[in-house]
Amino acid sequence: MDGKLHAVIGAGTGVAVAQSIGMEPVETAVLMGAGIIAGLVPDLDTAGKLANKISLSHKMIQGFVRTTGILAGAYAWFGLSGYAMYIGLALGIFLLLIAPKFSQKLMLLISGVAVIAAGLAMSEIWVWLSGSYVAGAALVAHRSYTHSIIGLIFFAIIAFYVNERFAMEGLFWTLVLGYASHLLADMRFIPGNKRGIKLFLPFSQKGV
């Protein structure tokens, strides 16, 4: 399903939770935001817009590595001689060759690892758990583990610690139900979803 629809359903989930516990408009808006985030998170496993937003642009990194390679090569060619020149040229060529390898998925993985490191440094469980989720999403195939019960449980653990940290009524359930709404909306019984999701990974590959 389309990202915009997931966002709308996630927002609706947040509003519904807020309504059910009789919240004020401001808190309702916060839960709405939390619902949108939770409703979009499972698609981090796609090389898509959301993944792009939270990771450094792979195109930018590619350009940077390529430019550095050209500069290193030029510097070696014009400024160095003998061994040093060959090493400089080899380094330049090496950088040009690896530049295209900086894919969006790799940047997402690197970003996830950076968030894990930051979370560990700050001793914030929810931060490094979120980083683990992001890094994991970068490594798995689209609509696999992030769209399974295991993914939902992992996200619920993150939601638990987010709620511990920010202690807001309805936050935990908004996050969990927002995430669950995404899985539901991607299921086969919804018209337009041909593939469905592998809800029972790793125990079953069957799409539901």
Q: What does the binding site for Zn ion look like in residue numbers (CB under 5 A)?
A: 42-43, 186
42/170 with CB nearer Zn ion:
42
119/151 with CB nearer Zn ion:
151
CB of 188 to Zn ion, least distance (A): 13
44/135 with CB nearer Zn ion:
44
Single-letter amino acid, residue 114: A
CB of 23 to Zn ion, least distance (A): 28
CB of 152 to Zn ion, least distance (A): 12
Measured CA to CA in angstroms, residue 182 lies from 41, 172, 197 at distances of: 9, 16, 11
95/199 with CB nearer Zn ion:
199
Measured CA to CA in angstroms, residue 201 lies from 185, 193, 198 at distances of: 18, 18, 6
* Spatial distance between the Cα atoms of 39 and 1, rounded to a whole number of angstroms: 11
Residue 153 burial (10 A CB sphere; 0-12, 13-18, 19+): exposed
CB of 45 to Zn ion, least distance (A): 8
* Spatial distance between the Cα atoms of 24 and 45, rounded to a whole number of angstroms: 34
